[in-house]
Amino acid sequence: MSASIRIMHVISSLNRGGAELSLLSICRGAAARDARLTFKVVVLFDMQELTPAFAAAGIDTLCLRVPRNGFFTKLARTWRAIRRWRPHLVHTHLCYGDRHGQAAAILAGVKLRVSTVHNIDTLVPWQELCTRRLVGATATRVIAVSAAARAACARAYGCPAKKITVIHNAPSFTPREVAPRKHPGRGGPLKLVSVGTLREQKGHRYLIDAVEMLISEGIPARLAVYGADCGGMRARLMGSIRAKGLTDAVALMGATENVEQVLRQADVFVAASISEGFHMALVEAMSMGLPVAATDIPAHREVLGATDEQLFAAPASGRALADALRTLASDTDRYERLSRAGIERAGRFTEQAMIDSYGAFYGSLVDTAASGGGRA
């Protein structure tokens, strides 16, 4: 193995999100695990909420501040960054990072090129689908954040299965003093919470439908949705909330920096996604002892476990979500069993396990690379 292994990550932004928080944990933890690993993070757009956290961890970042339009501008600036730092390995994330980072790495002569499949979104535009297919064909290796993501990568994006390694994501915090939850009782509203970017994939509109149904049945429910807006989804959801007369029952809270506190104040976590790669907020909720109502998609079954006890709802169905939530509101014993089971199950997805897996992955990849340390 090289005495020093330089790994450059290329990502769209460092705004707070699952991929960005995982990247922070990986760089910070893997560098502490193996002093030979040195990381640099190249950020395409001027969106840098987490940059101070990377700096505090001693991880160097470079913001290119490229315009969203202009493929060749993004490609040229990324190529220059790679040529100047001369990494042994370039690791790209999300659509823009993959599209420009992988192409720039090839042009710069970097032989070790890795991409992570963070998400499974069946609603992506054709440009993103083309990017994923090209990356699947040209990357040296691909990391999938779940077995569900691996299957989708092989099936939908044409990536050879032998290229794909599964490394699960992990929660962005370790909760303190967690005890199984007691049923909140029927004296007050059932406090529901959902955490995730406001986009069609997350299924928020079906969750709003479910709250409307519960209230119409006399079940007091209050929903708090935490997540940044994406593509004007917040305005569309607010329109639905007003049209249904739910302004007192449903609140769109925006992004939060304190997920742990948000989860601590809730009674039930709802994962309404139509598709997911790995639902980090779901694992965080389980680790806090929150019972979960989740849509029946592969990534959710992988995280929660496919047991008869767990409450799964058909995707894209407000009625199915309402049925699951009604059960949690009325069945005290099941609520408390799910709380205990979630705490135990969440212990499988630890930050240390993720860091160790990435450290071993990087070391093995560089060890087996051709002479020249991964550069042309």
CA distance 75 to 69: 11
Q: Which domains does the chain have, with CATH numbers?
A: 5-170+351-367 (3.40.50.2000), 190-346 (3.40.50.2000)
pLDDT, position 123: 62
Find where tokens 């992990």 sit: 170
Beta pairing partners, 63: 43
Find where tokens 């599209």 sit: 99
CA distance 237 to 248: 14
pLDDT digit string, tens, across residues 212-265: 999 999 999 999 999 999 889 999 999 999 999 999 999 999 999 899 999 999
Find where tokens 């069946």 sit: 122
Q: 2 pLDDT exceeds 60?
A: no
Beta pairing partners, 165: 143
Q: Which residues contact 361 (CB under 8 A, 6 or more apart)?
A: 141, 143, 165, 167
Confidence of residue 366 (pLDDT cuts 50, 70, 90): confident
Q: How many residues does the chain have?
A: 376
Residue type for position 336: E
Confidence of residue 124 (pLDDT cuts 50, 70, 90): low
pLDDT, position 370: 44
Q: Which residue has the higher pLDDT, 171 or 242?
A: 242
pLDDT, position 163: 93
pLDDT, position 376: 39
Query: Average pLDDT of 100-104?
Result: 96
Q: 1 pLDDT exceeds 80?
A: no
Confidence of residue 375 (pLDDT cuts 50, 70, 90): very low
pLDDT, position 46: 84
Task: Report H helices in the chain.
Answer: 18-33, 51-56, 71-85, 94-107, 126-138, 147-156, 204-216, 233-243, 259-264, 280-287, 298-304, 318-330, 332-346, 351-367
CA distance 24 to 146: 19
pLDDT, position 308: 81
pLDDT, position 362: 93
What DSSP letter does each residue of 157-224 carry, written as one string? Answer: S---GGGEEE-----SS--SS--PPPP--SSS-EEEEEES-BSGGG-HHHHHHHHHHHHHTT--EEEE
The pair of structure tokens assigned to 294 is 């989740």
How much is the pTM?
Answer: 0.90
CA distance 124 to 146: 19
CA distance 135 to 158: 10
